[in-house]
Amino acid sequence: MIVIICALLAVGAIGFTLLVRERDIPPAPVENPELKHLETRRQVLYENLKDLQFEYLQGKLSEADYQSVKSGFLNDLAGVMASIEQLLSGKEMAGKEAAAREPVAPQGPASKGPGGSVICSACGAENPGQHRFCGQCGAALSESLAE
């Protein structure tokens, strides 16, 4: 009887450990080879930066050398991070696209009419937003926008 209880406890412990371990795994699964490659590059760049800093602190590098090499690494790192973000956000977008597409808010001054047109205050004619003078009466359209 005790043997059975021990066995059950052991199985339970193993199962619990597996569950916890599974939860500890980071949420983003690295199945994309491109992403994996980028993650590796990021890791390498971090290592390089650490080494560089170490060498600099040991006096093996001049301040100028250190700064120039470091900025090069940081540049690469920024590029890698941007690529990773792009990949991840691209994935997210693909998932969200089916759910709901957020309408893009139209940009431009509030004084402009719908479709970026400007209503002439003199004659009421509708003019394209980029026009500075009314096509009907020649009145200045940019008057209300100026300054």
Write out the residues near Zn ion by the rule CB under 5 A: 120, 122-123, 125, 134, 136-137, 139
The CB density around residue 45, as the number of other CB atoms within 10 Å, is 20
Pairing of strands 117-119, 126-128: antiparallel
Comparing CB distances to Zn ion, the nearer of 52 and 141 is 141
Closest separation in Å from C-beta 100 to Zn ion: 41
The CB density around residue 52, as the number of other CB atoms within 10 Å, is 18
Comparing CB distances to Zn ion, the nearer of 80 and 120 is 120
Comparing CB distances to Zn ion, the nearer of 52 and 120 is 120
Closest separation in Å from C-beta 120 to Zn ion: 3
Comparing CB distances to Zn ion, the nearer of 35 and 140 is 140
Element (H, E) at 7: helix 2-24
Closest separation in Å from C-beta 127 to Zn ion: 7
Question: Could you give the C-alpha distances from 53 to 38, 45, 143, in angstroms and in order?
Answer: 22, 12, 58
Closest separation in Å from C-beta 108 to Zn ion: 20
Closest separation in Å from C-beta 142 to Zn ion: 13
SS3 content of the chain, % helix, strand, coil (to 5): 60, 5, 35
Comparing CB distances to Zn ion, the nearer of 28 and 137 is 137
Task: Return the closest-CA partner of residue 85 out of 75, 73, 74, 77.
Answer: 77
